[in-house]
Structure 1
Amino acid sequence: MLGQWDNIMNFLMYAGVTLPMLALGIVIFMVTTPYNEYRLIREGANTDDPVKFAAAKAASHDLGGKILGLSLVLASAIYHSVSLWDLVVWGILGIVFQIIVFYLFELITPFRVVSEIPKGNVAVGIFASRLSVATGLLMAALISY
């Protein structure tokens, strides 16, 4: 057991950096979109309004995909980093890259993602989610290169 203390301390240090970075990423994602994902999700939870219900589903897909995408980047950064500083750099790049891809997606689509999700377009929320996961997966692979 005494030989594990270094591993336990390493785990705690990396968790102490990674979990706040994930939370920071979620906050940044929410600040950079003109709609409030939590509000849409909360309003759609206890309602009979089909638009609010659909908006909650679209927002939860969108935000969930961003969280999964960033988690993939952070997991790869943890695995491949040589220091906590290295993890922070890759985590920040992952957050920035996710935001850039979201707005590139916004620019090249014939519809406006930022207006479709609050209107309850679940298909757009799912598509945005999958794009975020794919972006995170690619970023995770790029970190390991």
Structure 2
Amino acid sequence: MQPTDMFFDYTLAALPDYLGFLGTMAALIAVFTAIYQAITPYREIRLIRAGNRAAAISLSGTIIGLAIALNTVAAGAVSILDMALWGAIACISQLVVYLIVARLLGDLSAGIEEDRIGYGILLGGVSVATGLVNAGALTY
């Protein structure tokens, strides 16, 4: 057997695992994004389509923060179920961060709806920071 044949055999054998992990992470991001948009009192996608930069920045930061945490989860997971469970925990922590920031600012919803960029940057930045902290905590 040629070395290239062994490489391709190994690669093809790992492909189902890759697709399983990728699909699970994509599903986690999609479900999280839907839940996140359901708990916020404003409609991010509608605001973004109308050109609202604060909504775009905050939602992007939130999704990026989650993706950072999911990257670490996937790298250390022993199975798709393991990744899904720890990924769900990362999702919950991102939702909690939104609730904390909304509580601390009080008028976060109005700030995002009125396109106050600072609100979007703060929420997006805190969400990315949460993703980084989660990533560190999820190296089990």
Do both share a fold (TM > 0.5)? yes
Offset from partner CA, 1:56-93 (integer Å, 9 cap, x none): 10000000001101101111110011111111111111
Q: Which runs of 4+ in 1 moved over 6 A?
A: none
1:124 corresponds, among 119, 123, 126, to: 119
Instruction: Tell me which amino acid in the other structure corresponds to 2:109.
Output: V
The RMSD of aligned alpha carbons is 1.1
Distance 2:104 2:55 in 1: 20
| CA drift at 1:142 | 0.3
Instruction: Tell me which amino acid in the other structure corresponds to 1:105.
Output: V
Matched, 1:112 2:107: yes
Matched, 1:94 2:101: no
Distance 1:107 1:16 in 2: 34
3-state SS of 2:138 partner:
helix
* Corresponding position of 2:44: 37
* Corresponding position of 2:3: none
Q: Give structure 2 stretches of 5+ with no counterpart.
A: 1-7
| CA drift at 1:95 | 1.1
* Corresponding position of 1:49: none
Q: How high is the TM-score relative to the length of structure 1?
A: 0.87
Q: Give structure 1 stretches of 5+ with no counterpart.
A: 45-55
Count of residue correspondences: 133
Instruction: Tell me which amino acid in the other structure corresponds to 2:64.
Output: L
